[in-house]
Amino acid sequence: MRIRIVDAFTDRPFSGNPAGVLLLEGGAFPAAERLQEIAAEVNLSETAFAHPLPPGGAADWALRWFTPVAEVDMCGHATLATAHVLHTTGLATGPVRFTARCGILSATAHPDGSLTLDFPTAPLSEEPVPYGLADALGADPVSVHATGEHIGDLLVELRDEATVRALAPDFAALAAHSRRGVIATAAAEDPARGYDYVSRGFFPGVGIDEDPVTGSAHTALAPFWSARLGRDDLTGLQASARSGLVRTALRGERTLLTGAAVTVIDGELLTTF
């Protein structure tokens, strides 16, 4: 079975967020324990597994995502990577619909090679700053918001871009503050650089200290910054070491995430399910 490594939310190899992609034959997933073992072996933020569904239904493919230690409800970059593989291999020519834990998702390819994902918008609710969060993160929050059941993060607004870039969290302490992790964000210091806001994503709760570019986090970042900046179409920079851009478009209960992807490894999984 072929396994691919795809860098998502970038048009250059060795940047953005790498995801494993396995397109399975047949109409069912193997045991979750086996999928988890493969994801642990791949050892990237997420590995996506997808299998085709019968024609005429609400979705074309079933999709699941695993970190090295857990299955997750929602993952943007590995969905983008999966859609990229489907289109570059000719298995899809138009919009692709996926059924996943978080509902029906879709991906649409554009002539320039970029793809747009249609994801549910995260419901934000402001909360008091939890005791110990500032020490764990290494910065004083301006505001804190919960992001709903499918993401399960805390969205933490910080004073400025420089503060976000300089973070060096205590990951063990940070893991106690949310189910999945913490999204730290601030407005761009200079929007003329091509992005409106900056973020970093720390997810020690699912085995990822820092994620390079987190598509799902932008379903929370989009409504947060659209409300503050007064525009529905924005660009976010995730300022990890690998870095990546996510174009966000808030459409009510749905958020569109647009980015590019590039396949960097195409190999064979030498094991059976």
Residues designated as active site: 46
- As a whole number of angstroms, the distance between CA 139 and CA 149 comes to 25
